[in-house]
Amino acid sequence: MDAMAITSIFVLSVFVGFEVVSKVSSTLHTPLMSGANAIHGVILVGAIIVADHSENNLELGLSLAAIVLATINMVGGFVVTDRMLEMFKPKKDASAAAKKEDEAAKGGQK
C-alpha cells in the first residue's frame, strides 16, 4: 500500500473515531470503553498472519502466544461488554407484569 493511501485512511479514521463518541452520557462510559477494548482484539488477525509467516520455532512460539492473548482480549471483551449491557435491558419484571395484565384484560373481555 502506498504511504498516501495509508495516511488518508489513518486521518479519516481518527476523525470518525472522534465523531462517533463525542456525545456519550457518563452512564455508558464503562461499556463503551470495554467495547472499544474488545475491538482492538482484532490484532488476532495480525497474530494469525505472523503465525503463518513464522519461519522458526521462536517466531511460531511468540506468535502463538500473541494469538492466545488476542483471542482472550477479543472474545472476553465482547462477552463482558454484553454482560454489562444486559443490565440495561428494559425491566423484565415490569414488562412481564404488563404482559400479564394485558392478557388478564383480554381474558376478561372474553
Partner 1 sequence: MSSTWYSLIGLASGVAFILALKGLSHPKTARRGNLIGAAGATVATLSVFLYVTPGKDGAEAHSLPIHNLGWILGAIALGLIVGVPAARKVEMTQMPQLVALFNGVGGGAAALVAIVEYLNLGDTATTAEVIFTVFTVVVGCVSFSGSIITFMKLQELMTTRPVVFPGGRFVIAGTLVAVLGVSVWVVVALGTTPLLVLALLSLLFGILFVLPVGGADVPIVISLLNAFTGLTVAASGYVLSSTLLIIAGTLVGASGTILTRLMAEAMGRSLFGTLFGAFTAKPQAATGAAEERPVRSGSPDDVAILLNYARRVVIVPGFGLAVAQAQHTVRELADLMISKGIDVAYGIHPVAGRMPGHMNVLLAEANVPYDQLAEMDEVNPTFGQTDVAIVIGANDVVNPAAQTTPGCPIYGMPILEVSNAGNIIFLKRSMRPGFAGIENELLYDPKTMLLFGDAKASLTKVVSALKAL
Q: Total binding residues for partner 1 by CB under 8 A?
A: 82
- Tell me, what DSSP letter sits at residue 1? -
14 lies in the binding site for partner 1 (CB under 8 A): yes
* Shortest Cβ 108–partner 1 spacing (Å): 27
Site string for partner 1, 21-60 (x = CB under 8 A): xxxxxxxxxxxxxxxxxxxxxxxxxxxxxxxxxxx--xxx
* Shortest Cβ 107–partner 1 spacing (Å): 26
| E-strand stretches of 23-110 | none
20 lies in the binding site for partner 1 (CB under 8 A): yes
83 lies in the binding site for partner 1 (CB under 8 A): yes
106 lies in the binding site for partner 1 (CB under 8 A): no
d(Cα 89, Cα 4) in Å, to the nearest integer? Answer: 44
Question: Among all chains, which residue has been given the C-alpha cell 463518541?
Answer: 21
Kindly give, in sequence order, each residue whose CB lies less than 8 Å from that of residue 24, ignoring residues fewer than 6 positions away. Answer: 32
Question: Among all chains, which residue has been given the C-alpha cell 488518508?
Answer: 8
